[in-house]
Amino acid sequence: MSLRGERAYADLSVAPPTPTAESRPWWDALRAGRLTVQTCGACGTAQGYPRTRCVRCWSAELSFVEATGRAELVTHSEVHRPGQASWGAVTPYYVGLVRLEEGATLLTHLLTDVLPEGRRPRVGDRCDVVPVQVGEWVLPFFRVAGVRPGLPVRDGHDAVESTVTDLVPPE
Ligand SMILES: [Zn+2]
């Protein structure tokens, strides 16, 4: 497993994201180092990617609120053959779905450089946002902290989650 920090990505030349009218404020904030989450003024729902309407109550009263940057890992996968060849320079790496403290989920690239050697990401792991320069863009990666708030720390593995959530065969 590679243990890689954010500095490995600055020189990557990857296909750029395509901001829309709805998502441009989110990208602009990210470029300034701030993770925001689109939040409904009518019902308080936070939603994972920017839209014109609230997914819960259909209100158009939406705004971008600064997120705490703390999240919990929902699921993950180890990537060896990326869909875009340019990401091949940093394989293998993890992608994962994280649930922000605000409740919205985000599909993201995971940094595993602070995990102990051999420790893979686990469902429920605490993750913290790290704005990472990737080529000309800033992307919201999440660093897996390897601690699980609210759960007792256990040695060894969790058999249930490792069979359900590890999407790649063991090495
Ligand atoms: Zn709403």
Centre of ligand 1 to C-alpha 47, Å, is 9
Q: Distance, CA 150 to ligand 1 centroid (Å)?
A: 28
Average pLDDT of the chain is: 85
91-105 residue pLDDT tens: 999 999 999 999 999
Among 140, 136, 113, 116, smallest CA distance to 48 is for 140
Domain boundaries, given as residue ranges, for the chain:
6-146+156-165
pLDDT at 149: 58
Q: How far apart are CA 40 and CA 6, in angstroms?
A: 32
Strand 36-40 and strand 46-47: pairing?
Answer: antiparallel
Please check the confidence at residue 157 and state whether its pLDDT lies above 90. no
Can you tell me the mean pLDDT for 69-97?
94
pLDDT the model gives residue 10: 86
Is the CATH number 3.30.1330.10 carried by domain 6-146+156-165?
no
Q: What is the pLDDT of residues 22-72, one digit of tens each?
A: 999 999 999 999 999 999 999 999 999 999 999 999 999 999 999 999 999
- Give pLDDT, residue 156: 40
79 CA to centre of ligand 1 in angstroms? 35
Full-model pTM: 0.81
Q: How far is the CA of 21 from the centre of ligand 1 (A)?
A: 19
What gap in Å lies between CA 156 and CA 22, rounded to an integer?
44
Report how far ligand 1's centroid is from the alpha carbon of 74 (Å). 23
Ranges of beta strands (E only) in the chain are 36-40, 46-47, 62-66, 70-79, 93-100, 105-111, 126-134, 137-144
Q: Give whole-number Cα distances, 1 to 29, 104, 121, in Å.
A: 32, 29, 11
- Ligand 1 centroid to 36 CA: how many Å? 17
CA 49 / ligand 1 centre spacing (Å): 14
Q: Residues whose CB is under 5 A from ligand 1 (ion)?
A: 40, 42-43, 45, 54, 56-57, 59
Instruction: Calculate mean pLDDT across residues 146-169.
Output: 46
DSSP code string of 96-122: EEEEETTS-EEEEEEE-TTSPTTPPP-
Q: Which of 36, 40, 85 is nearest to 64 (CA)?
A: 36
